[in-house]
Every structure is written in structure tokens, then in C-alpha cells.
Structure 1
């Protein structure tokens, strides 16, 4: 789903006449309900013709969140619904009302009461997005230069989005999710290496929403293994909304957070009810039932270009240099969090932890392995390739030869299916005294090695990791075709896409980011840095965040999962059942 998902792919699983259970909960006022006992409503896709009134009660309106409550129409329904979060929504919100304005000392809002629709616009960007755009631009463009270009697009009143629109609105703060990623690495390491938590081993990463959605809908028995640490996107959203609402004295719904991500599944993650202020804003008596999202809208790398084009802006002509001081964003209301989110950038300083060994999906497993290597002097790390390049197994052994830790990396749904089969619990025998049966082998049997359980597994839905997300710029996109000299007769194939991904990965690993001033001071005295990250600085920042908001860290940085149960199929007619099965095996109308 993740690697190939596109808003244009709307004919894969769902077919005309397949019933959706969600519209039953909110019946439309027109047309009138049918006289039959059936309460099914047909989902109408673009280009399809609705059935006759005797066959259907009319098109159903389904919200984005509804998709997560149904496992019946997995791929197409999500593809339709994620289109609701798009560059058009960004432009619509920017034109809804004048944006909120900060006071001169950046501690309050000056025009809060002038318009109830006014928002404070903030944006977060994934480093994989920056890498994809840097590769598309070429000429050795760096991630920091791409971030400057996006800053111009979102904030420059002369060259960017604020130069047009109804209210000339722009984004006040633009941050990288890389800092939240470092928090996730530290908390994830504590979680995986702790023997006092309620998570089963092996601990499975949960920052990939495609993988989480797949587990919740099809293999709920793996949910107790999922890491409870939020993803960098979700953590950034919580950090921005809690800090800004507390520091500026405004409600979270007055802060509109746009996230730019490499994959479409992140739009589904943003719609989760577990990632709203209903979890952490427990003191708000006016809180809505479903809560205010920590991430209001998600667009992908390609949609940045569409956003610029919608306002007749040539993204690739935007300056790579920093925005002028007169257009610089105001200081962040909280200095501690501001210094953490906005580290100083120096082109000569290379980000130590962005290495090929860490992978292109954040480096969760890499950080844990290096934490253990630092804790056990003299230990050795051995890496074994699995059945393909997206399966790797890791083993840390002490100098005595004793195994200390064993972990693995599974990328792509083909490999994930093998993993979840190994985690499937055994079924009890119905025979008296019989042994459990039906359990596949548990993970951990390396080639030629002993069968040992993994302690940690890094799981990502996309083959090759997050730089290969479905929303990234691909080799067959027009801008890349022009850059690489492909014509209409010699379109690129899989090998060219593989070569293109290597270019994106190179841009990802060449990130240039310096530590914040406080982190830099700790670096001079602290010997416990892991993969370029200071765990003590991260923990100090988390404590300051919790103290500022007066919210426990477990409500700020952790989340939960739940089995998704569908009623689809329980009341289907024979015709509908045949249609659904035909769609799932590649047939249909």
C-alpha cells in the first residue's frame, strides 16, 4: 500500500456495489432511505455511475477517520480519502481568515478576537522530503538549501504563498522533524532495552503508519509488540501544539499544523483519534469528542510542487539562501523548546548519525545497537543479510562470545508478511494432552545460526525505506525525466528507479545540521553521546516540555493501538460477496 499508493489508483480493491458499513452510522437526508430492510450505502468513486435507486440509497460521505475504523475496503477507500488532505486544503485554510499575529515579545496573540477562523500556521518537514527535492534539483543541492527554498515558499511575502491569496497568509514557524526523530530514538532505545515495560519482545517499530494500519486491521496479535513511542511526525505535532497553546494562551484549534511527509500513509496517521488533544488536553471542558488533531493536514513531496504551481510559483527558481532578516520568523515563545527545534545550521558540520548503516528510515535500530555497543566495551556487531536486501539481521556478542542482543530489519510488505507469520501465536490443541499447533517459527533464525528470538525489529512498509515513500518524486516524474534525459520512447524502468533512489539516499545521508547551543555545550563535556545524539540533552528537553505544559510525558510522547474490527461481510448478499472476492483477487467488473 505504501510504496505504490497514489490518488490516481482508484480501481484496485473496491468495486461498484460493494457495501461500506460507515454510512449506516450517519444516514444522509437525501435521497430518502429505501423501503427495503437494507441499510447499505454505495461508495461512489470518480468516474463511476451510481446504481439505480432500487439498488442503492445514494453516494455516501465518509470522513478520513472512518477509513481507520473499517478493514473492508483497505486500499481504494484510503486512496480516495487521503485526497481530502491536499495542497488545495492548504490554500483553502490560508484563505479562510487573516492569520493570527504574535505580540512584539512573542508571548501572546494580538488579534485573537478579531476573527474566530484565524489560525497560527506552522509547518514541519521530514528530512526524506528534503532529500527527494534536493535530488530533483541537482547541482549538489543540500537539505538545508531545500529547507531555505521551502521557507521562502511558505513565508516570503514577496516570492512565496504570502504574496497572493485572499489574506496574504503565510506560515509563522517551519521546523524539521529531525529533532523529534532524535527524541524518538532515545525513547525507543529506553523502551527496547528496558526489562520493566509491558511490551512483548521483540519490540517492533511503530513510526510507519502503513505497517501499523496493516497490523491493526489484519494481524492484531502483533499489537502488544508495537513500540508505544509516537512517530516523529506525531511527536512534532504534539510538541508544537502543546507548547504554542500554553505559551501563547490560545486553544489548540487556533494552531494549524501542516506536515510534509514522504508517504501517503502519514495522512492516515494524522487522522488517528489517538493523536489528538483528547489524549493530553484533559483540562479543557469544551474539548470536542474526537479532539483536535496534533497534525491537521499532511501533504507529500510531490504536493509541494503542486502547491507552488497553484499560486503560479516556480519552486525551483526560489532562492537557496536563507530568508532575509526582515522576513525571519519571530522568536519561538519558549526559548528552551525554540533552541531545540531550531538548531543553528553550519554547512561544514555534517550530521553524524545520518549514515548508510543507519538506513533511510530514521535509524531506530542503528541507535539501539550503538547504545549497546557503548554499554559493552569490547563487544562486536555482526550483520547478516536475509533472503533479500530488505532483510538484515544483527547480533551483538560480548568478547567471550556470549550473545548480548539480537535484532533485525524488515522492509516491504513481502518481508513483513513473513515476520508476522513468525509472531503468530500457537493454537491450543482440542485433543486431551495435545500440544499447541499452527504456530510458525518465531523470528530469529539466522542463516546457519541458532534459533534465538529477536529483541527488536525495525519494520517499514516501503522497500528501501522512507526515502522510497509513495509520495516522493520518482524517476518517471516529468521533472526527473527532463533532468536525466529520458524521452517518450525510452521511459525509465526498475533499474533506473533503483539508480534514482541511490541519488535520493545520497542526498539524505549528506544532511548538514548542527546541534543547538545547549546540546553543543553538553557535547564538550559528555562522553555518553550515541550516534551524534546527546541522550541527556534530549531527556532534559523532555522534562522542560512536561514541566511547561504540566502534562505527564507518557501522555505527550507515547500512544496506543487497537484492533480494528469490521462488520463488512456479515450481512452481504451473494452478489456483493462475489464482487468483493473478485476485486481482491484482481478481477471485478
Structure 2
């Protein structure tokens, strides 16, 4: 059970839960449980039982739930915590990757012992920025990344206090997967095919927004981008490549993602993001997850506290040396470039720059065109129009951040209701008072649940967290102004990463690329994706795209019998007893 989740931490709370499909049921008597557990989930309208044990709800059950609609921060979760990371590392000796030898081949030590795993991790730039702000003193995002490497891979980190001295073999930067998602997303919007989502295409990399759409507004699902999020894409890349090149079963490759958002824990639990899709018949099922565990920025300090490690004393000046080589040279250069690009422009936003990249791609494809920006009702709503050289609009897009704004967006997308009157016109939210159709004219909309974007995620370090209170000697409880000041520091670290620039007009390794868009070479990305597909023998669409599903709500419907309810629960996609 994660002890740090509470409704008080939310800045994107939608509404209180009104029902839960996995409550305490009238089932055969269960063994007694620890009475010290605090939380109990109860059917809507049902009185709590004094003798009933507290319900345990896993992340998979919560994702399948059709009752409450809240951010994942409000959900009681029992998996994917810092404790799960330590328990996994202490479960047995880790697999060791050896090589390459003189023939360029790799081998794995300990593969015959089925209790041994290979540990890999991926880290988001928003997390590094949050940790940099927590450190203070001008620590950059890049330096915070070095500190994380020391924690996860170095001898002074988790290896020092572990039962078997285990650490992580590789740590990747999700920026690599992010740039891949940007190219795929732009192709999806600008190169429409019969299988493309309906316009306007909506960003799908925010799991809180996706969960909200699946449970409350299924009519927007045909609009969701099919491109996986950077977290999911990195998980697929690591599991498929390592299992194919090293001969390690996917269930023995343990992937940790460090993210700014608790909702990413639910994303990792999706049946659409398992080896059943890329390694089986292509259909979602309960297989081996591409991401085994997600912890957030603030949980890093719970991880260090559990091992008596002072995170702030870890070296920030230089990366680890003699890290293992990735078992494919092309993907080695792709995942671990010798020189990284510099920071993103602030116009790209703090959520990955999906919309920014598409706008730059449209401008590059239409010489002489120019961008017009219009602010909406608040700072988290913006409209973008690209006009041709002659002044004619050729592309429209928008940005909606925060659930209050998202609710306005989905109302505008709601389909018209047919009139029951003979000859009557459609009515409802799809008509404006002026009589004009209200359907969005935009080709693309970037949607994020958190106001301000991902640097303001629910899992980021907050100003009232103990680690901040102690380091900044804040005697009184800090308020919104102090939190706003800390968020400004996080944004500064995010947009001023301090990383070394590659040569102008080059890719991440300094190779000249004439086709760059916003510092990214689409041709280089596409070539790498094609290589990945050939290497693994898996169709590229299975590797990079995902699907969504409507979750039918039970709220307000007649209560079934106990036996009927058990059958329904057992048959739900992603959940059950």
C-alpha cells in the first residue's frame, strides 16, 4: 500500500467516487486480516460492516473499475511503490550481461536460475527537473540525472544496502522515446490513412486523461492518438530487444519507470501494454507488462530513506564509467547518444512538446507559412492557426490542460442527438447558439490532465514534502505562493537542462541530418524504428501503437444478486477476482 497517496495531494481531482466495482462483497468468509489497515471500500448506499475486512484493490482492478472517476493519486494502490522496487532487488541475485566478445556476441550469466532477473530503468526529464529543484543551489537536470544513475547503478547507491548487491544494468532517458513519439504522432496527424483516428486527433500520452475518457466519454475514443506514450514505448523497446538479443524471457526483464505522475502506475497496468500484444496474437491480455513498476519523483526519497542513503550527497558532477554496452549497436547509439541535444524551447511546453513538434512540421512542409496564437479562457487553453503565405488558414490546433478545461473540450466533441420529431434537426451540445455546428475544427488537440503540464504532475516533489521543509528550513506550513515558486524552479531546470548540444543540423550523435524538424531528424527516427522491427521480427504497428476501450459504468443500474455480481467481476477486462 502506498502511504503517500491522498486526496489532499490532488490538483486534478475530478469528482468523488460514487461506486466501486470491487467492494466488500457478501462472499464466503475470508481469513482475518490486519485490523490496523485504514481504508475500506463500500458499495454506494451500503452501510459499513464492523466485522468485514478492508478491501484490497490492485492497480489492474482500479483501471478496470467503472464506478469512480478520479486521478490515480486518489486510488488506494498496493503495488508499484518504492517497497516493490526493493523487494524485487532483494528477491535473488541479478542476471549479469557479459560482452561483447571478440566476435561481438553477448552472453548472460545466471540464466539457468529462474529466480534471477535483469533490472533496467527509464527516467523522465520532468522527474530529473523536480529532483534538481529539490536539490537547489543551481543543480541542473543533467546533474540530477547523474545522481539518479549513482543511486540506481553505482556502488554507493542501492547496491550498498541490498541483500544481493543488485542494481540496474541500464538506465535510459525517456526523451529518446519522446522524440520517437513526436515523429509518429506528426505522421499520424499529417499523413492521414483509413486507419488513422478521427479528427481532431487528441493526445493520448496522459493516462489520467485516457482513463477519464474511457470511463465517462467513450465517444472521444475514436479521436485518441494510437501512438504509445514515451513510457510505454520505452518499455516495449527494452523488453522486446533484450528478450530477442539476449534470449531472456520477458518476465525476467524487470523494468522500472520513474515518472512525474501517479497515473503512470495505472498506464503500466493496462492489458494493452503487455507481451500478449507484441509477442502473442496482438490482442490485449494479462501478459508480462512492458513496465513492471512505476515510482514517482517524490518516491525517490522514500527509496533512499529505506536504504539510509543521502540522495543529496550523491555525486552530480560526472556519469558512471564502464557501463555495459547495449546488445545492439544501432540501438546503443539511439538510446545512449554520445552527445545530447540541448533543452527544449519554452514554447514546446513541459509535457513533451507534442503539439509544438506538429506545428513545426507543418511550418516546415509549407514554406512561407506563419503561426498565429490565441489565448483561450485561461492560460491552459491556447489555439494555434497556421496561415499560408497568402494568409489563408491551413492548419488549426489547440491545447487543453487541466480537467476543468478538458470537460469543456469533451462537451464540444459530444455527438449531436437525433430529433424524435419528424423533420427535426439534431440538438444538444453539437450546436452553437448561432446555429453553426460546434464540432471542433482543429486537426490536433494536446490534452493533459495537470494544469501547467507534466512538470506539475501529482508525483512531483511538493513544497510541503518533508525533504523540502528540512532543506529550506520552512518553519511554517508553506502555501500556494511557495508551491508556485518551487514549480518555477522545476520549469527552469526542465527548460535549462544544461546538456551538451550536438553540432548544428545534426542528430543526437552529431551526424549531419538535413531533414531536421525542431532539432529532430524524422528520417533517423524512422530508420531506427525499421531496424527495431527487423531485429525483433515484430510488425512495427504492434510495437508503437496501442488501443483503448470503453468501460461501462454500473452506477445507477439495478443491483444484481451476489452470484451475478461475482460472475460480472470475474469477466471484466483487466479485473476480476
2:445 aligned counterpart, secondary structure: strand
- Which structure 2 segments of 5+ residues have no match? 561-577
Alpha carbon RMSD of aligned pairs, Å?
3.2
1:17-32 to 2 correspondence within 5 Å? 20-22=20-22, 30=30
1:166 aligned counterpart, secondary structure: coil
Q: String of CA shifts for 1:448-507, please: whole Å, max 9, x gaps.
A: xx997011000000000000000101122233344555322xx33222222221111110
Q: In the alignment, is the contact (CA less than 8 A) between 1:68 and 1:564 conserved in 2?
A: no
Q: In the alignment, is the contact (CA less than 8 A) between 1:343 and 1:516 conserved in 2?
A: no
Shift of residue 70, structure 1, vs aligned partner:
1.4
Q: Are 2:408 and 1:418 aligned?
A: yes
1:169-568 to 2 correspondence within 5 Å? 169-196=166-193, 197-282=195-280, 290-325=286-321, 328-345=322-339, 350-351=342-343, 354-440=344-430, 453-488=441-476, 491-511=477-497, 512=499, 514=501, 520=507, 525-568=512-555
Q: Are 2:61 and 1:66 aligned?
A: yes
Matches of 1:186 and 1:528 in 2, distance apart?
A: 12
* Residue of structure 1 in register with 2:570 after alignment: none
Q: Are 2:150 and 1:162 aligned?
A: no
Matches of 1:509 and 1:153 in 2, distance apart?
A: 24
Matches of 1:199 and 1:288 in 2, distance apart?
A: 19
1:343 aligned counterpart, secondary structure: coil
Matches of 2:48 and 2:125 in 1, distance apart?
A: 50
Q: In the alignment, is the contact (CA less than 8 A) between 1:9 and 1:76 conserved in 2?
A: no
With normalisation by structure 1, the TM-score equals 0.85
Aligned length: 539
Q: In the alignment, is the contact (CA less than 8 A) between 2:338 and 2:509 conserved in 1?
A: no
Q: In the alignment, is the contact (CA less than 8 A) between 1:523 and 1:529 conserved in 2?
A: no
Q: In the alignment, is the contact (CA less than 8 A) between 2:40 and 2:54 conserved in 1?
A: no
1:108-147 to 2 correspondence within 5 Å? 108-114=107-113, 116-147=114-145
Q: In the alignment, is the contact (CA less than 8 A) between 1:10 and 1:76 conserved in 2?
A: no
Q: In the alignment, is the contact (CA less than 8 A) between 1:6 and 1:470 conserved in 2?
A: no
Q: In the alignment, is the contact (CA less than 8 A) between 1:6 and 1:79 conserved in 2?
A: no
Q: In the alignment, is the contact (CA less than 8 A) between 1:360 and 1:505 conserved in 2?
A: yes
Counterpart among 38, 46, 55 of residue 46 in structure 1: 38
1:395 aligned counterpart, secondary structure: strand
With normalisation by structure 2, the TM-score equals 0.86
Shift of residue 58, structure 1, vs aligned partner:
4.3
Q: String of CA shifts for 1:222-248, please: whole Å, max 9, x gaps.
A: 000000000000000000000000010
The alpha-carbon distance between structure 1 residues 288 and 465, as it changes in their structure 2 partners (threshold 3 A), is: closer
The alpha-carbon distance between structure 1 residues 531 and 56, as it changes in their structure 2 partners (threshold 3 A), is: same
The alpha-carbon distance between structure 1 residues 558 and 110, as it changes in their structure 2 partners (threshold 3 A), is: same
Q: String of CA shifts for 1:375-421, please: whole Å, max 9, x gaps.
A: 11111101111000001110100111110101000000010000000
The alpha-carbon distance between structure 1 residues 23 and 290, as it changes in their structure 2 partners (threshold 3 A), is: farther
Q: String of CA shifts for 1:412-446, please: whole Å, max 9, x gaps.
A: 0010000000000000001111001112458xx9x
The alpha-carbon distance between structure 1 residues 24 and 403, as it changes in their structure 2 partners (threshold 3 A), is: same
2:108 aligned counterpart, secondary structure: coil
Q: In the alignment, is the contact (CA less than 8 A) between 1:68 and 1:272 conserved in 2?
A: yes
Shift of residue 102, structure 1, vs aligned partner:
1.3
The alpha-carbon distance between structure 1 residues 64 and 565, as it changes in their structure 2 partners (threshold 3 A), is: same
Shift of residue 566, structure 1, vs aligned partner:
2.7
Deviates more, 1:68-77 or 1:515-524: 515-524
Deviates more, 1:358-367 or 1:452-461: 452-461
